[in-house]
Structure 1
Amino acid sequence: MSLFILLIYFLIYLNGYNLVQFNLLSDELIQYVNNYPSAGWKASKQNRFKSISDVYNTLGHYGIRRFKQGILPIVSHEDKNIELPDYFDSREQWKDCPSINIIHDQSKCDSGWAVASAVSISDRTCIQTNGTIKVQLSAIELISCTKNKLGCQIGYSEFAWDYWLKNGLVTGDSTGCLPYPFPKCDHRSSNSYPKCGYITYTAPPCEKTCRSGYPIPYMADKHYGKTIYRLRPNESDIRKEIIMNGPVEAGIFVHSDFFNYKSGVYKHIIGRLVTIHSVRIIGWGIENDIPYWLCANSWNEDWGLNGYFKILRGSNECEIESFVNAGKVDDKPRSD
């Protein structure tokens, strides 16, 4: 193969596997995806994003974050003999754990890493205590108190899991110790939520006391992890982890076309890499002979499949299987 042909292949790779490029959120991009013969999914205008500035106000201005290596040990489930069904949905498996069903909205704060981690930990707290502890743990505590110190600008999910292990998390629902302070919003007047406006939120300082009127002391409200780990990048291992211990938090490389996802099994068709985001994987299935992961996003219910999306499973689409974090709950009270 000539050097010239190799160069052409390299340029195609750099341009998102297609030399044709469209602006983020554009009608042309949506039309291209919907006319693509083997796309497997449909794109549309989404209430959650109206302009490119909306995207960056939600996902940060610090560029593409990197994953922190060496914080979480790598775990393999290769030796575990577990029968894996073709379809699995945590919402159906653990109906007594309400946090699994909640779709959050990170609002105009780059906090997907914190929201996905906090909700995955909340799910696992309920599941691993057989439904005796039903909580929504605080994402804002992670945003304000973890090591990265950049609040709503950028964060690292590895630090979130490490914080839960070492410091614990308090409750974070609307009636909890440290509720999420930023409201759900939309940009296209769907009337579901107020308009987002043009403010990029700033994370509050790290608080060591609960909100006024909350009846439980801050330290007494803490919930801790016993072990934390990253799954090796293996489809079967991830499925085994979910079926044994509950939803996981996963990193995903977000390209331009993902923002307009509406239905079907997503795979990257066109557009450049915009950011790295975090989501929950809550199950899997097969649609039109295409295997998929069932994921919960944090862009409210107006986006995608009522806040959820399906993404190609088994081929590490958008690195969805590369950075999967999980942990086990410490259900024994701590004196600290």
Structure 2
Amino acid sequence: MSTVIILLSVVLFSIYQTEQAHFLTDDYINKINDEATTWKASKSFPSNTSVEYFKSMLGSKGVGKSSNGPMKTEDPNYDNFHHIPRKFDARKKWRHCHTIGQVRNQGNCGSDWALSTTSAFSDRLCIATDGKFNQLLSAEQLTFCCHLCGFGCYGGWPIIAWMYFKYHGIVTGGDYGSNEGCQPYRVAPCTFDERGNNSCSAQPVEDNHSCYRECYGDSDIDYNEDHVYTRDAYQLTAAMIQKDVMAYGPVEASFDVYDDFISYESGVYVKTENATYLGGHSVKLIGWGVDWDVPYWLMVNSWDSDWGVKGTFKIRRGTNECGIEDSVTGGVPITY
């Protein structure tokens, strides 16, 4: 009897793991486009992609009050910004910092919390040094060495990542296969073949890697000397987000993802009425603006550049859409 129960459990688990995502059907996407007035949806993933695949990519545990970080409400540098521009794009403000617009690919790993925070820190360090530092920091090290941050490929807290930068520092590290920096990212990207099949679909989540305390990318780099730090770690109130970005550069932002967001193509995202919750996701906030009288935040995602608008998206600003304005974190780099 116990054997039968075990076998039944395995079968049910297998079905659950491979359950196709209903929200990828043409009918569902057409329904989104009938309802949404500020954005457009289209098929970004094959129809046979499993629900669990999408849930595994949503690794942020830092949405809303779950972040529990120190709240930053003022800064002497904020006094320099009495006027908030109607439109702001960090890529244009700091053109010499190439990492700001760089779109990452997290692969089959819920490391979005690590890619967004290391990317934002990279941008801020470039800005603070006027371009003398102009490379990526290691999402690999953060994902697999910061055990207090969370669970590696199974998610983490962005605010604790910034605390890790403050107390332990982080080394350099480029994208998968680049050999750039001390510890490049070692999770293979999710790619599509000529038939549109996703290389990560139906595959298990990446096993957590061992934490290395040496450089394996550019072996000429000294591991200990390569570390950089922030002087602090904080969450931002909604009113302070723009001033902090103008003062120091891009920040991390987490939000609740619903199934309609997966098919975002363009426009200003606003959750449709019957969309279903999937999980928390972490991205990089690089600016804001207004489209057709709809204010938005400008974001860089980590699902490669073939998703959304070349890997970026806009989400409604000023209404705490999907909890995003309660869930913004950052830190100020230490420069020498």
User: For 1:48 and 1:220, how far apart are their aligned partners in 2?
Assistant: 45
Which secondary structure does the structure 1 equivalent of 2:151 belong to?
coil
- Is 1:254–1:275's contact at 8 Å kept on the other side of the alignment? yes
What RMSD, in angstroms, separates the aligned Cα atoms of the two structures? 2.5
- Among candidates 44, 47, 51, match of residue 46 of structure 1: 44
CA positional deviation for 1:319: 1.0
CA positional deviation for 1:58: 2.5
- Is 2:173–2:217's contact at 8 Å kept on the other side of the alignment? no
Where do 1:140-151 residues align within 5 Å? 140-146=140-146, 147-148=148-149, 150-151=151-152
Report the TM-score when normalising by structure 1.
0.84
Question: Mean alpha-carbon deviation: is it higher for 319-328 or for 67-76?
Answer: 67-76
Question: Mean alpha-carbon deviation: is it higher for 312-321 or for 179-188?
Answer: 179-188
Give the equivalent residue in structure 2 for 1:125. 125
Which secondary structure does the structure 1 equivalent of 2:280 belong to?
strand
Where do 1:260-279 residues align within 5 Å? 260-269=263-272, 270-279=274-283
CA positional deviation for 1:27: 2.3
- Is 2:55–2:279's contact at 8 Å kept on the other side of the alignment? no
Give the equivalent residue in structure 1 for 2:18. none
CA positional deviation for 1:188: 6.2
CA positional deviation for 1:48: 7.9
Which secondary structure does the structure 1 equivalent of 2:331 belong to?
strand
- Is 1:90–1:282's contact at 8 Å kept on the other side of the alignment? yes
User: Which structure has the highest helix share of the two?
Assistant: 2
- Is 1:77–1:240's contact at 8 Å kept on the other side of the alignment? no
CA positional deviation for 1:184: 2.0
Give the equivalent residue in structure 2 for 1:4. none
Residues 108 and 121 (structure 1), Cα distance of their counterparts in 2 relative to 1, 3 Å cut: same
Alignment gaps of 5+ in structure 2: 1-20
- Is 2:65–2:326's contact at 8 Å kept on the other side of the alignment? no
Residues 128 and 48 (structure 1), Cα distance of their counterparts in 2 relative to 1, 3 Å cut: farther
Letter in 2 for 1:183: A
- Among candidates 259, 277, 293, match of residue 256 of structure 1: 259
Q: How many residues align?
A: 306
Task: Give per-residue Cα distances to partners, 1:8-47, cap 9 Å, x unaligned.
Answer: xxxxxxxxxxxxxx933232221111111x5210111104
- Is 1:71–1:162's contact at 8 Å kept on the other side of the alignment? no
Give the equivalent residue in structure 2 for 1:219. 224
Give the equivalent residue in structure 2 for 1:33. 32
1:325 has 2:326 as partner: no
Task: Give per-residue Cα distances to partners, 1:139-177, cap 9 Å, x unaligned.
Answer: 111111111452111211111101101111101112111
1:195 has 2:199 as partner: yes
Alignment gaps of 5+ in structure 1: 1-21
1:247 has 2:250 as partner: yes
- Among candidates 314, 317, 324, match of residue 313 of structure 1: 317
